[in-house]
C-alpha cells in the first residue's frame, strides 16, 4: 500500500500559484481562501481614512489592500500573509515597482478585520507580525467573535491596537465605543472605535 502526502508549497510557489481572484494566504504550506464577511466595508473605511491622513499630513506612506508579505512561524514555516489593509513606507514599496514579488521586510501597519479565520488574527498573525517586526497591528473585531479573554463577558466589539515596544514585543490597547483610537503611525487620527466598528 502506498501513502501519498501532498507536498507543501514554498512561499515562492505560493506567489506563482495563488489565484488572482479572491483573498488567499499561504498557511502551513497550503493556499487557503480567506472568506470575507462584511469586513470589506470596515477595511475600505480604514483604507480611505488612512489615505486621507497620508495626503493631509504629507506622510511618506502608501496604503493598500493588495500587499502580500512573507512571515515566519515559531517553527520556521514560511507563511504568505495579505492583511485587509497595509500601510507601507512609500520608498520601500516603490523601490522595485516592476517586480511581481512580495515584501519580506516589515511594513508600518497591518490591519486584520475579523472574519471566518478570526483565530489566525488573534493567535498566528499576532505572533508572525510581531516576529517580523511590524510596528503596529490592528485587529478590528466588529462582530465580537474572538475569545472572551479579549472581548470580555459579554463579548463587546472592539479595536485592538498592538504596538511594538523596545524589546520587540507587542503591547495591546483595546478601544470601544466613543474612545479615540491611538495610533503611532497616525498620531493625529481622530477616528473612534465606534466609527470603525459600525462602518
Q: What percent of the chain clears pLDDT 90, i.e. is strictly above it? A: 55
The pTM score is: 0.83
Residue 66: what pLDDT? Answer: 83
Nearest to 146, CA basis, from 177, 178, 120, 181: 120
Q: Kindly tell me if the per-residue pLDDT of 89 is higher than 60.
A: yes
Identify the residue whose cell numbers are 466595508: 41
Length in residues, the chain: 199
Residue 24: what pLDDT? Answer: 72
Q: Name which residue leads in pLDDT, 31 or 56.
A: 56
Q: Is the preceding peptide bond at 124 cis, omega within 30 degrees of 0?
A: no
Q: Kindly tell me if the per-residue pLDDT of 36 is higher than 70.
A: no
61-88 residue pLDDT tens: 999 988 888 899 999 988 888 899 999 9
Helix H, strand E, coil C: the string for 46-93 is HHHHHHHHHHHHCCCEEEECCCCEEEECCCCCEEEECCCEEEEEHHHH
114-156 residue pLDDT tens: 887 788 889 899 999 999 999 999 999 998 988 888 888 899 9
Amino acid at each position: 500500500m502506498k501513502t501519498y502526502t501532498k507536498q507543501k508549497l514554498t512561499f515562492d510557489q505560493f506567489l506563482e500559484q495563488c489565484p488572482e481572484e479572491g483573498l488567499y494566504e499561504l498557511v502551513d504550506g497550503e493556499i487557503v481562501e480567506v472568506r470575507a464577511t462584511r469586513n470589506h466595508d470596515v477595511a475600505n473605511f480604514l483604507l480611505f481614512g488612512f489615505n486621507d491622513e497620508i495626503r493631509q499630513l504629507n506622510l511618506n506612506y502608501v496604503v493598500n489592500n493588495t500587499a502580500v508579505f512573507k512571515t515566519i512561524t515559531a517553527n520556521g514555516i514560511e507563511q504568505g500573509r495579505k492583511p485587509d489593509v497595509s500601510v507601507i513606507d512609500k520608498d520601500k514599496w516603490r523601490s522595485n515597482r516592476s517586480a511581481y514579488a512580495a515584501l519580506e521586510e516589515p511594513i508600518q501597519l497591518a490591519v486584520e478585520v475579523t472574519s471566518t479565520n478570526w483565530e489566525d488574527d488573534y493567535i498566528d498573525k499576532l505572533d508572525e507580525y510581531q516576529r517580523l517586526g511590524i510596528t503596529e497591528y490592528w485587529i478590528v473585531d466588529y462582530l465580537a467573535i474572538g475569545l472572551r479573554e479579549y472581548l470580555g463577558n459579554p463579548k463587546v466589539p472592539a479595536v485592538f491596537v498592538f504596538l511594538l515596544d523596545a524589546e520587540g514585543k507587542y503591547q495591546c490597547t483595546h478601544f470601544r465605543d466613543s474612545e479615540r483610537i491611538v495610533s503611532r503611525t497616525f498620531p493625529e487620527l481622530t477616528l473612534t472605535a465606534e466609527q470603525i466598528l459600525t462602518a
